[in-house]
Structure 1
Amino acid sequence: MKNKRFYGNLMLILTALIWGSSFVAQSVGMDYIGPFTFNAIRCIIGGIVLIPIILVMDKVKKESKTKNNNKQLILGGILCGIALFIGSTFQQFGISFTSVGKAGFITALYIVLVPLLGILFKKKVSLKIWLSVFISLIGLYLLCITENFSIGKGDLLVLFCAFFFAIHILLIDYFSPKVNGVKMSCIQFFVAGIISVFPMAIFESPTLASILLAWAPILYAGVLSCGVAYTLQVVAQKNTDPTVASLLLSLESVFAVISGWFILGESLSLKELIGCILVFIAIILAQLPNKNKIL
């Protein structure tokens, strides 16, 4: 049991590493193609990668295929796909105007936003979450606000992305207990990819040559970030405490900064680094278990 937990934790750290470094792939990919083109191709690739995994899982474990379950699966996949499309679009455009490290930390704020949005569903918010919000706001100020008290365009777009990713998490939380998570993820990737095709055709003019130039970041984001990392998360969380899992996955934001510095040569000022630290503290605090059942 201890070995399973150990390897599960290692897989979660690997997942966080893949997700964090994928910010670099997203940034580099847009040197050759537009945001909608990048998202369309990588999401469709992510969906394709999950198909053989689903086939293997079906052979290992037969599931009941009720009509109601299929309806929930399709509905969940479509709604999650729409939320994923909107969040990914804001993120992809935002990365064009801000650094990879800042984008990683601002995106991770969805962890704090999720319980706040839960208020809409009449769920109470604990003092711990309000404290997390306060700390994250200070961190966000140091990370994003300039000397003339304005927020950068890219930072604002990524903040919108965090909001829609929080909605995405709430949708997954609602549908995942009722359906197969990997199948729903596969559907959501195809939905997000197909929706991205329409604005791609209207606003961008991708060529086969430009897409081929971006093959490495596209495959990294599609195969590893969407397909492999998601599967690792699903497998690993079976043998890991949920709180530990969420804490390990929050390392995504740290790996984003490290990847941006190591691969792209990006750097953060002292003020921005302090902001990152405060945001990370807020993220950790938001995921610590409560003594009661209040969010």
Structure 2
Amino acid sequence: MTRLNANLLLIAIALIWGSAFVAQSQGMADVGPMTFTGVRFLIGALVVSPLMWREWRALKARRLALNRDDGAKILGLGLLLTMGAAMQQIGLLHTTVTNAGFLTALYVPLVPLLSWLLLREPPHWSVWPAASGSLIGTYLLSGAHGLSINVGDIWVMASALPWAVHVLLVGRVADKMSAPFLVAGGQFMVCGLVSLGWAGVTEPITWSGLEAAAWPIVYTGVLSVGVAFTAQVIAQRYAQAPDAAIILSSETLFAAAFGYLLMGDRLGSTGLLGCALIFACLLLVQLAPMIRQMRRWARA
């Protein structure tokens, strides 16, 4: 897969994720956030299971079967996925689809920062103003109605950290193992089982509730998890983590569009300014290094 094809695939993923915010919000009218998260990720694991089995057999035939260290890495990715998905889902109980979409994208400036801290890869200068501008934009967006950040906004903002670590590591893990489907499905199973265990302790789980929320759960389970998250693992083998982060951040725009069309979300001037500032920072953190590289090529 070429880098261009990987980037186009990431845009398609962002579109699916942006639309999924609406389904995630609507589904919780009938089930709790952890129940919703657990069931949809297990559905995603079921969707990708035939490809997992095929990949497992191919690796075994080549005597490249996964070992305990590989299993530990998949477990770690699954726990990161659980934290990010759970915090985001809980936040959607108390905030709008539009806010959740933009606040989730705060993981984008975190990716190069964490790459520096964890992998010793120094960030471009643009990361610092982008991170600061994102925080200001977050305040403006969350405070669009009375300049106060509600509990839902805080949950979604907190989810940015595990999302960032996940984006940073998932492509590397899948590439080293040469097993993108096993990595994808394995992390889905971990997330689904942990979330359902959490739900069993904190939420009532009823068959009638699952039936009522069936369509949002199936939509997000099949498309958002089974298709989009699996495609992310594949695409990030061919795209650098900061590049992937900025492209995936376009889910914020898709979330706002779907929230406007399907749920009647509206923002005042302060909220719109916050959205614009966040998106400008997301572009800065990616485009500034590219412009510098292009200038070097022009001088050569």
Please indicate, yes or no, whether the TM-score normalized by the shorter chain is above 0.5: yes
Determine the C-alpha separation between the residues in 2 that align with 1:178 and 1:239.
12
Matched, 1:213 2:219: no
Q: Residue 126 of structure 1 corresponds to which residue in structure 2?
A: 124
**TM-superposition CA deviations, 1:102-140 (whole Å, max 9, x none):** 101111111111222234324423211112112212211
Determine the C-alpha separation between the residues in 2 that align with 1:248 and 1:63.
36
Task: State the SS of the aligned residue for 2:140.
Answer: helix
Is the CA contact (8 Å cut-off) linking 2:111 and 2:242 kept in structure 1?
no
Summarize the Cα distance change of 1:190–1:237 in structure 2 as closer, same or farther, 3 Å threshold.
closer
Higher mean C-alpha displacement, 46-55 vs 239-248: 239-248
Q: Residue 225 of structure 2 corresponds to which residue in structure 1?
A: 226
* Deviation of 1:149 (Å): 5.3
Alignment counterpart, residue 90 of structure 2, candidates 80, 89, 93: 93
Alignment counterpart, residue 116 of structure 1, candidates 90, 113, 117: 113
Matched, 1:258 2:257: yes
Determine the C-alpha separation between the residues in 1 that align with 2:277 and 2:283.
10
Summarize the Cα distance change of 1:209–1:74 in structure 2 as closer, same or farther, 3 Å threshold.
same
Higher mean C-alpha displacement, 161-170 vs 140-149: 140-149
Is the CA contact (8 Å cut-off) linking 2:56 and 2:182 kept in structure 1?
no
Q: Residue 41 of structure 2 corresponds to which residue in structure 1?
A: 43
Is there any run of 5+ residues in structure 1 with no aligned partner, and where? none
**TM-superposition CA deviations, 1:75-127 (whole Å, max 9, x none):** 11100111111111111110111110110111111111122223432442321
* Deviation of 1:173 (Å): 4.6
Summarize the Cα distance change of 1:63–1:224 in structure 2 as closer, same or farther, 3 Å threshold.
farther
**TM-superposition CA deviations, 1:156-211 (whole Å, max 9, x none):** 11000111211222332542331122211111110111111222111111111110
Determine the C-alpha separation between the residues in 1 that align with 2:150 and 2:73.
34
The amino acid across from 2:153 in the alignment is D
Higher mean C-alpha displacement, 88-97 vs 165-174: 165-174
Summarize the Cα distance change of 1:166–1:245 in structure 2 as closer, same or farther, 3 Å threshold.
closer
Determine the C-alpha separation between the residues in 1 that align with 2:169 and 2:233.
17
Instruction: Give 1:1-295 correspondences, 5 Å limit.
Output: 10-56=8-54, 64-66=62-64, 69-121=66-118, 122-145=120-143, 150-179=148-177, 180-233=179-232, 246-288=245-287, 289=289
Determine the C-alpha separation between the residues in 1 that align with 2:171 and 2:104.
18
Summarize the Cα distance change of 1:249–1:166 in structure 2 as closer, same or farther, 3 Å threshold.
closer
Determine the C-alpha separation between the residues in 2 that align with 1:125 and 1:238.
20
* Deviation of 1:141 (Å): 1.8
Determine the C-alpha separation between the residues in 1 that align with 2:4 and 2:117.
37
* Deviation of 1:56 (Å): 4.8
Is the CA contact (8 Å cut-off) linking 2:92 and 2:152 kept in structure 1?
yes
Is the CA contact (8 Å cut-off) linking 1:72 and 1:175 kept in structure 2?
no
Q: What is the TM-score with the length of structure 2 in the denominator? A: 0.85
The amino acid across from 2:266 in the alignment is S
Determine the C-alpha separation between the residues in 1 that align with 2:132 and 2:108.
14
- Percent identity at matched positions? 38
Determine the C-alpha separation between the residues in 2 that align with 1:210 and 1:147.
32
CA RMSD of aligned residues (A): 2.8
* Deviation of 1:235 (Å): 5.5
* Deviation of 1:48 (Å): 1.0
Is there any run of 5+ residues in structure 2 with no aligned partner, and where? 294-300
* Deviation of 1:11 (Å): 3.9
* Deviation of 1:281 (Å): 1.5
**TM-superposition CA deviations, 1:226-251 (whole Å, max 9, x none):** 11123444566678898775544321
Summarize the Cα distance change of 1:126–1:201 in structure 2 as closer, same or farther, 3 Å threshold.
same
Summarize the Cα distance change of 1:147–1:197 in structure 2 as closer, same or farther, 3 Å threshold.
closer
Q: What is the TM-score with the length of structure 1 in the denominator? A: 0.86
**TM-superposition CA deviations, 1:49-75 (whole Å, max 9, x none):** 1111334556888874436x4333311
